[in-house]
Amino acid sequence: MGKEQFFKKINSMQEEVTHLQEEYWFLHSNIDSWQFWVMLLMLVIPLIVLYFAIDKRKDKLFLILFYGFNIHVWFTYIDSIGVRHGYWTYPYYLTPYFPFSFSLDSSLIPVAFLLVYQWTLNYNKNFYLYSIGLSIIIAFGLKPLLDSANLFELNKGMNYFYLFLLYCFIFILSKLIIEIFLKIQKRAE
């Protein structure tokens, strides 16, 4: 198969998958399902909490939000890789256009990590210890709870310990990126 034919086949299959996801959502995951409302609450409630809990001091606001953005980006990337390779799935989703866990990746998990980061900054606590604790809560508490509610499913030998390691990798990578930018900022001053 030539390059152009191969590329056209990929695009055709992507369109078919998109159509199937839309059809699935309209049949099983739409606003008539309780799962939709749980996903919506997991998106909205953390953002409301964030609005009231974020440290709005000028010197910290950008830093804390940048850390949260890093967490969001890396969780989204890792989640999409895991879903595309079938390591885990989300049988229900908020919208057919984001078939991964938009609520978790864009709100609940980033806000949780962001608030832990803020708390460790403000109270001079050990960032790594508390972030590991949050990773344990998410990997061994939240994900099994979502699994028991049929909102999440592990496949292909993936387990909660591997998820825990991925979460640790993500918060460490996000913290490293923050530290690099802080050093760049310090040099510029």
Q: How many angstroms separate the CA atoms of 73 and 57, rounded? A: 24
Which residue numbers in the chain have pLDDT < 50? none
- pTM, two decimals, is 0.91
Q: Which residues lie across from 154 on neighbouring strands?
A: 88
pLDDT of 99 reads 61
Give the type of residue at 62: F
pLDDT of 183 reads 94
pLDDT of 117 reads 97
Q: Which residue has the tokens 């990997």?
A: 139
Q: How many angstroms separate the CA atoms of 135 and 142, rounded? A: 10
Contact status, residue 159 vs residue 137, Cβ threshold 8 Å: no
- Nearest in space to 76 (alpha carbons), one of 57, 55, 99, 54: 99
